[in-house]
Chain A
Amino acid sequence: MDLNLTPEEAAWRDRLRAWLKDNVPEPWPQERRTESDADYWQFLRDWQRRLYDGGWAGVSWPKEYGGGGAGPVQQSIFLREIVRARAPESLGVIGEQLVGPTLIVWGTPEQKQRFLPRILTAEHVWCQGYSEPNSGSDLASLTTRAVRDGDEFVVNGQKIWTSFAHIADWCLLLVRTDPDAPKHKGITCLLVDMKSEGVSTRPLRQMSGDAGFNEVFFTDVRVPAENRLGPLNEGWRVGLTVLMNERANLGTAMYVYMHNALEQLVTRCRQRTRRGRRLADDPRVQEKIGQAWTELEIVRLSMDRALSRMSAGQTPGSEGSLLKLGWSEANQRLVQLSMEILGDASQLSTFDGGTWAYRYLRARGNTIEGGTSEIQRNILAERVLGLGKSG
């Protein structure tokens, strides 16, 4: 074991660090992070474009599609440096972390050529059309139908909880193409232009107050057959690639998000006083900050270790469930600790722009989205530990 960087890795890091020093916009509007803020989305699109132009987008993606062609170690360095430079979070999480890696595995050369660079430039923002009103945890029971008609599929049905659908350009959609086959064998994955005729989105207000997810209705939507990702009726396997990536990779964005929160928390602890001393000098606060730090380190280290196990481009396996369980619950504990430390004021929309109350409420979604914690635990118990299906 050697956790030190090789001279080449260190040189790569130094180049990145220098670039970030010159390019990170300052200051960036952290407090405005609510998922419906259009200016904020534009700001993140611009930032993504700048990363791309600088050659730092998609560090571990193949070079021919605009990526950096580097390995998982660089990806981990990238994450750390982004945090260190206080750079903005990534906008295209769904495109960059879920759809891209899946396209790299399953896409035709034409599909890769067409979609991958546009994800990296933030020209295309993606959403993920999986869940339906009656198919959540039991995703394979989905009923949105696609029927082949000449060179096209005709799609009818409804998705729900589709994050970013209201701003997305494209949707990675799971549909049923063979209703007679066993439920896992009749699903196909389609890439759908959100501007197609017959697609309509209705934003749903989240408990956090903002419109982050949506209902998406498909009425006779025509999708060119060339937009099928992976073989016909093999969509379950394609979909799993996405989910594995979701569970493993979204931890990256989460780590940045959590790190920014902890940093802000530390600043407040140094500024605010209670019982005649700075919060920072209160041993109880110190202990809680120590706890928060530990949560973050564990997320980072678990991710690093998983990254080092996966060689570049390889689909993550059960690591995904382990990591997702870890980062989702860690974030929930972090916001709880933060509010305990900051006290009553932290619930106010006038305190730090309401970011703490927002983070607190938003964190509840973390253990539901991307497969609930119960489902992750089922996967770990059944498939990793081999304990068999529970009754």
Chain B
Amino acid sequence: MHFELSRAQRLLADSVREFCQREFPSSRVRELMETEAAMEDRLWREFADQGWLGLHVSEQNDGLGLGIVDLAVLAEEFGRACVPGPWFTCTWAASLLQQIDSETARRLLSSLVNGTDKVSVAALEDDGDWQIRPERLASEVADGRLTGHKQCVHHAGQADWLLLPVRCSGTMAVVVVPADADGVQIEKTPGIDPTRTLYRVSFRETPVADDQILATGGQAADAWDAATRIMCVVTSAESLGLQEWMLAATVDYVRTRRQFGRTVGSFQAVQHHCANMLQMTDSARAAVWHAAWAVQEETAQADLAASTAAAWTSETARRCGNLAIQCHGGIGFTWEHDLHLYYRRAKACEFLLGDASFHREKLGRTILAGAD
């Protein structure tokens, strides 16, 4: 067993970190988050040139052909810098498209990977259930027309294409719709995390041609589940990066802030908070790496591992945030301090693809259904 990153993966981490330090200092993140796109064309181009829009996409599809562990490394660094914008949703779209064997999907994937088109995944419906099952999807394609609503869609306002699960002839289908198609209405609904803009998307009798229905039935469900597993790893890895930053910022602060004639980090109460943050971050790393490896190798445990990581990091990122703010005192409660950017992102990641209680229930159900 070798529960560590390879040399190449460490180099990847270093180069991404260096890039983020240069391009995404918090002052820049704050400027970007004041804009709806939360991203600059120039930087998006850079992402494409670096291969970060298709790190895990096969080389036939213009990706780098790396694994999910590499993707987790990238996501962690993006989390550490609180990188704003549509990278998450575009990576989700890429993960989904590459599972699908269709000419339209391939073309779309390649224009996504090379940075030409942005694709947002519109998954969540009004009932807020992350378990996407055809019998419960209210969005439906019938007679070549799509009608329904999706909420909390990342960066739909800047997307060229929307990728979504729908009900179609009683089964699940994955369809793609141009964001400016007839009957598509996109409304901004700001969330707690200003570094990613959320939208409510409504479809009314939006035309959907046959080649826009990318997959149906078991194929669609399998593609959806596979992409979900990957993205559970990605959001968990981002949460891990957030935690790493919060821990480091807190330790730095309590080392220098003085009260009662000594550093506040010398008080045992504060030390224990920091130690708890460390333990949570360390354990989150184990969960994220395990999930990344299991999903990459498609082991029998992949689903469980992905949900375990999501369940664990949903909690640890939030709790690290709670402790980080607490150890900072008043300054940690200000807008000026960067902590709240991380705290808000952690809350958004907690929800994304299901919160801890969603994943725990899923884990419980799977385990209880298993053979004795």
Nearest A residue to B348, CB-CB: A347
Contact A274 B192 (CB under 8 A): no
Residue-wise, chain A 101-114 has the 8 Å CB interface mask toward B (1 for contact) of 00000000000000
18 residue pairs of the A-B complex, CB under 8 angstroms, read A136-B329, A138-B259, A160-B330, A207-B325, A207-B332, A272-B128, A339-B347, A342-B128, A343-B128, A344-B351, A347-B193, A349-B191, A350-B190, A364-B326, A364-B333, A368-B329, A374-B270, A374-B326
- Determine whether the beta carbon of A361 is less than 8 Å from that of B361: no
With A209-B335, A273-B127, A357-B192 given, is the CB distance from A137 to B329 under 8 Å? yes
Q: A206-B333, A372-B326 are in contact. Are A344 and B124 (CB under 8 A)?
A: yes
Contact: B190 with A348, CB < 8 Å? yes
Which residues of chain B are within 8 angstroms of A339 by Cβ–Cβ distance? Answer: 347
What B residues does A284 contact at CB under 8 A?
357, 361
Q: For the complex, is A360 an interface residue (Cβ under 8 Å from B)?
A: yes
- Contact between A372 and B329, CB atoms less than 8 A apart: yes
Residues of chain B lying within 8 A (CB to CB) of residue A204: 334-336
CB-CB under 8 A for A349 and B189, given A136-B259, A136-B330, A274-B128: yes
Return chain B residues, CB-CB under 8 Å to A378: 269
Closest to A350 in B: B189
Residues from chain B with a CB closer than 8 A to the CB of A373 are: 326
- Kindly name the residue among A342, A357, A367 whose own CB sees the greatest number of chain B CB atoms within 10 A: A357
Rounded to whole Å, the gap between the CB of A125 and the closest CB of chain B is 21
Is residue A195 contacting chain B, with contact meaning CB distance below 8 A? Answer: no
Q: Is the CB of A368 within 8 A of B332?
A: yes
Known: A284-B361, A349-B189, A364-B322. 7 other contacts (CB 8 A): A137-B259, A206-B335, A276-B136, A345-B151, A347-B351, A368-B326, A372-B326
Contact with A along B133-155 (1 / 0, CB 8 A): 00010000000000000011000
Number of interface residues of B (CB under 8 A): 48
Structural contact, B269 and A207, CB atoms closer than 8 A: no
Q: Quick check: A349 and B190 within 8 Å, CB to CB?
A: yes
Docked pose: A136 CA to B331 CA in angstroms: 10
In the complex, the answer to whether A207 meets B361 with C-beta atoms within 8 Å is no
Check A205–B334 contact: CB distance below 8 A. yes
Residues B152 and A344 in contact, CB atoms below 8 Å apart:
yes
Work out how many contacts link A and B, with CB atoms closer than 8 A. 123
Interface of B is mostly: mixed
| Of B129, B198, B336, B357, the contact of A340 (CB 8 Å cutoff) | B357
Note all chain A residues with C-beta closer than 8 A to B127: 272-275
Interface centre among A160, A336, A348 (most CB of B within 10 A): A348
Tell whether, in the assembled complex, residue A345 and residue B333 are in contact, meaning their CB atoms are under 8 Å apart.
no
Determine how close the nearest CB of chain B comes to the CB of A375; give it in whole angstroms. Answer: 9
Q: Mark A269-280, 1 if CB is under 8 A from B, else 0.
A: 000111110000
Q: Pick from B69-77, B114-122, B170-178, B337-345 the stretch touching chain A.
A: B337-345
Nearest CB in chain A to that of B257: its residue: A136
CB of B268 within 8 A of chain A? yes
Residues from chain B with Cβ under 8 Å of A21 in the complex: none
Q: Is the CB of B351 within 8 A of A377?
A: no
Instruction: Among A275, A357, A365, A390, point to the contact of B333 (Cβ < 8 A).
Output: A365
Residue of A nearest to B152 (CB): A344
Contacts of A160 in B (CB 8 A): 330
Bitwise, A137-162 to B at CB < 8 A (1) or not (0) is: 11001000000000000000000110
Specify which chain A residues have a CB less than 8 angstroms from the CB of B124 in the assembled complex.
344
A344: B residues at CB distance < 8 A: 124, 128, 151-152, 351-352
Known contacts being A138-B259, A274-B128, A348-B152, is A374 close to B267, with CB within 8 Å?
yes
A347 touches B192 (CB 8 A): yes
Query: For A367, what are the chain B residues with a Cβ–Cβ distance below 8 Å?
Result: 326
One of A136, A206, A357 near B334 (C-beta < 8 A) = A206
A residues near B264, Cβ cutoff 8 Å: 137
State A367–B329 Cα separation when bound (angstroms). Answer: 9
B361: chain A residues within 8 A (beta carbon)? 284
Do A207 and B128 contact each other (CB < 8 Å), given the known contacts A347-B348, A364-B322? no
Q: Which of A284, A343, A344, A374 lies at the interface centre, i.e. has the most chain B CB atoms within 10 A of its CB?
A: A344
Bound-state CA distance A4–B126 (Å) is 46
Determine how close the nearest CB of chain B comes to the CB of A160; give it in whole angstroms.
Answer: 7
Contact B260 A137, beta carbon cutoff 8 Å = yes
In the complex, the chain A residue whose C-beta lies closest to that of B127 is A274
Query: With A204-B334, A207-B337, A344-B351 given, is the CB distance from A275 to B270 under 8 Å?
Result: no
Residues of B within 8 A of A76 (CB): none
B336 touches A205 (CB 8 A): yes
- Min CB distance, B208 to chain A, in Å? 25
B270 touching A207, Cβ below 8 Å = no
Cβ-based interface call for A131 (8 A): yes
Q: Complex: how many Å from CA A308 to CA B336? A: 43
Which of A134, A137, A378, A391 has the most chain B CB atoms closer than 10 A to its own CB? A137
> Within 8 Å of chain A (Cβ to Cβ): is B238?
no
Within 8 A of B (CB), among A148-197: 160-161
User: A368 vs B334: C-alpha distance in the bound complex, in angstroms?
Assistant: 12
* Chain A, 324-353, CB within 8 A of any chain B CB: 332, 336, 339-340, 342-345, 347-351
Contacts of B189 in A (CB 8 A): 348-351
Chain B min CB distance to A359 (Å) = 11
B355: Cβ under 8 A from any A Cβ: yes
Q: Which residue of B258, B335, B351 contacts A207 across the interface (Cβ within 8 Å)?
A: B335
Residues from 198 to 216 in B contacting A, C-beta threshold 8 Å: 198, 200
CB pair B330–A368 under 8 Å, yes or no, is: yes
Alpha-carbon distance A365/B200, docked complex (angstroms): 31
Q: For A341, give the chain B residue with the smallest CB separation.
A: B357
Q: In the docked arrangement, what's the CA distance between A364 and B192, Å?
A: 14
Among A294-318, those with CB < 8 Å from B are: none
**Closest beta carbon of chain A to B182's beta carbon, Å:** 25
A375's closest neighbor in chain B, by CB? B269
Specify the chain A residue showing the minimal Cβ separation from B135: A276
Identify the interface centre among A160, A204, A364, A378: most chain B CB within 10 Å of its CB.
A364
CA distance A179 to B333 in the complex (A): 31
Given the complex, which residues of A lie within 8 Å of B198, measured CB to CB?
A: 348
* Bitwise interface map of B from 224 to 246 toward A, beta carbon under 8 Å scored 1, else 0: 00000000000000000000000
Check if A348 sits within 8 Å of B259, measured CB to CB: no
